[in-house]
Amino acid sequence: MALTLNYLINTLSIIIAVASSLVLAEPLSGPAILLRVDQSGKGDFTKIQDAINAVPSNNSELVFILVKPGIYKEKVIVPADKPYITISGTKPSVTIITWNDGGDIFDSPTFSVLASDFVARYLTIENTYGSSGKAVALRVSGDKAAFYGCRIVSVQDTLLADTGRHYYSNCYIEGATDFICGNAASLFEKCHIHSLAEGTGSITAQRRESPSEETGFVFLGCNISGVRTALLGRPWGSYSRVIFAFSYMSSAILPQGWDDWGNSDTHSTVYYGQYKCYGRGAVMSKRVQYARNLTSLEAEPFLTKDFIGAKAWIRSVPTKFTRAFDKVGAKN
């Protein structure tokens, strides 16, 4: 036999440990399912969507989809009735999901996550439509979704963080116009946010519509850069909320920082804050009057994963398990 029984048992144990360590909602008792996607035909499927389609509706088991290196030219949708899926490459530079579509913000995404309890690791997700209009690379409309070490690349509306609670760790996100948008509660930790704008393109367009909504974007310990000049954000919703903390901002960030999108009424309703950011683009002296230089007390609610209620559904990934799983992926 190509694989011994002990090897299969060890592989399964690793998958269970890694998957449960990434997203922890209610503990699942059933066995984990491992599916392999390989364009060469050596896996269970040659397309990512085919692997997702194989997961039963109303799924209640951990499903780990391992994607072997390759350029996967397909639109991918994780339906709302298929939770508990993890999709993992080995590294984003060699595991690329790409499509070329523009127009409607909800129809154009290369990759759409509608399910809860979803994880993506080490993938590039890109939309190559260009600068002619809205072209979403990643849409996340499910609750409790986490992304580790992913590259998310387009020009306009790159990442539609639509609804739900989301966590992005060590991700690279690139675009030019409103390229992180939506009304999710999203925490970006140690991410690199890169603007392609050559004028006053906005990095964020957060859509919070009322002060009762517990949504907003928090950038914690991030690197904010750009090719020329960019704004930190503008309000898609009247109560738009965006906070940058402990983040480096390059000189690409314009001194005013923010824009009101032609509606001065939002000056009294938006919540745009900075806390202990640094770099030439972080200087507050020329910021718009409604930008906030947060005190420690004001910043406190945004400085941990509690902002997205993470204690109930996410915990850190044990290094020994991730290394072990990646070895399994390399062998299979």
Enumerate the active-site residues. Answer: 157, 178
Q: Enter the tokens of residue 100.
A: 């070329």
Beta carbons of 141 and 162 less than 8 angstroms apart: yes
Per the DSSP assignment, residues forming a β-bridge with 316 are none
Distance CA 132, CA 117 (A): 33
Tokens 């002619």, located at residue: 132
Q: Which amino acid, 17?
A: A
Beta carbons of 75 and 97 less than 8 angstroms apart: no
DSSP secondary structure code for residue 45 in this structure: B
Residue 267 CA: distances (Å) to CA of 234, 270, 273, 282, 300: 11, 6, 13, 20, 23
Phi-psi region of 261 (alpha: psi -120 to 50; beta: other; left: phi over 0): left
Q: Which amino acid, 78?
A: V
Backbone phi, psi, residue 85, to 5°? -105, 135
**38 by DSSP, 3-state: which?**
coil
Question: Is the C-alpha dihedral spanning 117, 123, 124, 126 positive or negative?
Answer: negative
